[in-house]
Amino acid sequence: MADLKLDQIRKSYGAVDVLHGIDLDVKDGEFVVFVGPSGCGKSTLLRIIAGLEEITGGDLMIDGEVVNTKSPRDRGIAMVFQSYALYPHMTVYKNMAFGLKLDKQDKAAIDARVREAARILQLDQLLDRRPSELSGGQRQRVAIGRAIVRQPKVFLFDEPLSNLDAALRVQTRIEIAKLHQDLKSTIIYVTHDQVEAMTLADKIVVMNGGNVEQVGSPMQLYHHPETRFVAGFIGSPAMNFTKVTIDAVEEGKVTVAIPGGIKSVLPFDVPSAAVGQQVELGIRPEHLALGDVGELTVSGVVDVVEKLGDSTYLYLNLANGDRVTVRAPGHSRVKMGDTVTASAPAGAAHLFNGEGKAFTKVDCPAEFSADDI
């Protein structure tokens, strides 16, 4: 069990800077998920924590001790690879026991640990098989088992579920969540998958181009994204953005001119110097409802209709060329080519300045706030 602290971690490959000073605190027992677009440095950061990659600058601390130059084994971590990386010439049992044998622990203790891990992961029946005789999901469980038996301070997972099919992914995801509840260990988990990140994480770290964009609980990131990047990255389908002009500023209120001539008053703290500037307005598809019921209204021609059963996604083309996604009820009868109006309450809006930083929302309604979750 361990705290983890990253202090200005930098990494370069020759002249290429991959990580530009990452700061992060991970508390004991926390489930932290790294998300971000491909190539943003998630795996690199994980491998640095594992000790598989040298640190170019900064300090990595586990339990308050700087471990920059320590080997993976001395850091007390265990890593589960995307490719499973099972030893093909060993049985499941040996795969799990291999790392333990080396600690010269007594045979019975090793056996007990392996069998316990096998029981947790329902691998009891498979202990004598080789990896080539297992299904993808079973292999993944063996890989997790190999990590469990070592009783590490920190578990590291690099996209562990991305080789599994959809159904198995959901099932294994739930197993990992249960595992975390049982073991109460610190877990760092890299994924591409939004749902995995939202469902598993105590804390999500959104990365972009070698920097941390924002760290927070899933609901914080969803409701209070600090940057336009995070707003666009978290949530599926992605948040709608449109350029608006600031018309007037009052204490805790801002009037913006939405393309098409409509003006709306939104509850944001905006400096008065911003009047006349172009900013970006964001609204999530699920906060838009058909009809003219909220303060923020858009209308456009339906371009594509996606029926998912429980809901229907409508893709509208606005007059100014922007595209807006609206989540309509599953029984919606809207067809391609229809002109529809959708609206959202002012409290659902997000406003970002020219650099993509969010303006502070005031008096956020409970349904759009993560304060009590």
Ligand X SMILES: Nc1ncnc2c1ncn2[C@@H]1O[C@H](COP(=O)(O)OP(=O)(O)OP(=O)(O)O)[C@@H](O)[C@H]1O
Residues near other proteins (CB under 8 A) are 47, 50-52, 71-73, 77-79, 81-89, 98-99, 102-103, 130-134, 136, 139, 146, 150, 163
Asked if 98 touches ligand X (CB under 6 A), the answer is no
Q: Pick between residue 38 and residue 132 the one whose CB is nearest to Mg ion.
A: 38
Choices 35-43, 130-138, 146-154, 233-241; region in contact with ligand X by CB under 6 A: 35-43
The residues, ordered by sequence, that sit 6+ positions from 227 with a Cβ below 8 Å of its Cβ are 213, 214, 352, 356, 357, 358
User: Is 38 near ligand X (CB under 6 A)?
Assistant: yes
DSSP string of 175-208? HHHHHHHHH--EEEEE-S-HHHHHHH-SEEEEEE
Alpha carbon distance 165, 12 (integer Å) = 35
Q: ∠295-356-294 over CA atoms, to 5°? A: 10
Q: Site for ligand X (CB under 6 A): which residue of 8, 23, 27, 39?
A: 39
Q: Which of 2, 4, 6, 18 binds ligand X (CB under 6 A)?
A: 18
* Residue closer to other proteins (CB basis): 96 or 281: 96
Angle of helix 136-148 relative to helix 107-120, nearest 10 degrees, comes to 140
Q: For residue 356, what is the DSSP state?
A: S
Q: Which stretch binds Mg ion (CB under 5 A): 38-46, 138-146, 161-169, 239-247?
A: 38-46
Say whether residue 150 binds ligand X (CB under 6 A). no
Is position 43 an interface residue for Mg ion (rule: CB under 5 A)? yes
13 interacts with, out of Mg ion, ligand X, other proteins, none, CB within 5 to 8 A per kind: ligand X
Query: Which range of residues in 41-49, 173-181, 248-256, 334-342 is near Mg ion by CB under 5 A?
Result: 41-49
In the bound state with other proteins, the residue whose beta carbon lies nearer, of 45 and 230, is 45
Interface with ligand X (CB under 6 A), residue from 4, 6, 31, 42: 42
Amino acid identity, position 147: A
Q: Largest Cα–Cα distance in the chain? A: 77
**Shortest Å, Cβ 173 to ligand X:** 18
Burial class (CB in 10 A: 0-12, 13-18, 19+), 355: exposed
For Mg ion, which is the closer residue by CB, 43 or 242?
A: 43
Residue 191 in contact with Mg ion, rule: CB under 5 A = no
Q: How far is CA 207 from CA 183, 190, 200, 253, in A?
A: 27, 11, 17, 31
Question: Which of ligand X, other proteins, Mg ion, none lies near 136, with the C-beta cut-off 5 to 8 A by kind?
Answer: other proteins
- Residue 86 backbone class (left: φ over 0; alpha: ψ -120 to 50; beta: rest): beta
Q: What is the dihedral of CA 57, 15, 47, 198, to 10 degrees?
A: 100
Q: Among the residues of the chain, which ranges form H helices?
A: 42-50, 72-75, 92-101, 107-120, 136-148, 166-183, 194-200, 218-223, 228-233
Question: Residue 52 binds which one of Mg ion, ligand X, other proteins, none, with CB within 5 to 8 A depending on kind?
Answer: other proteins
* Three-class SS state of 145: helix
16 interacts with ligand X by CB under 6 A: yes
- State how far the alpha carbon of 87 is from the alpha carbons of 75, 146, 288, 353, in Å: 22, 11, 51, 52
Q: Give 233 or 241: the residue with its C-beta nearer to Mg ion.
A: 233
Shortest Å, Cβ 167 to other proteins: 17
Residue 155: CB minimum distance to ligand X, A: 17
CA distances from 241 to 69, 260, 279, 330 (A): 45, 15, 10, 24
Binding residue for ligand X (CB under 6 A) from 8, 13, 107, 292? Answer: 13
| Min dist. Cβ of residue 193 to Mg ion (A) | 13
The one segment of 36-44, 243-251, 296-304, 315-323 that binds ligand X by CB under 6 A: 36-44
Q: Binding of ligand X at residue 40 (CB under 6 A)?
A: yes
Stretch of 13-21, 103-111, 173-181, 323-331 lying at the interface with ligand X (CB under 6 A): 13-21
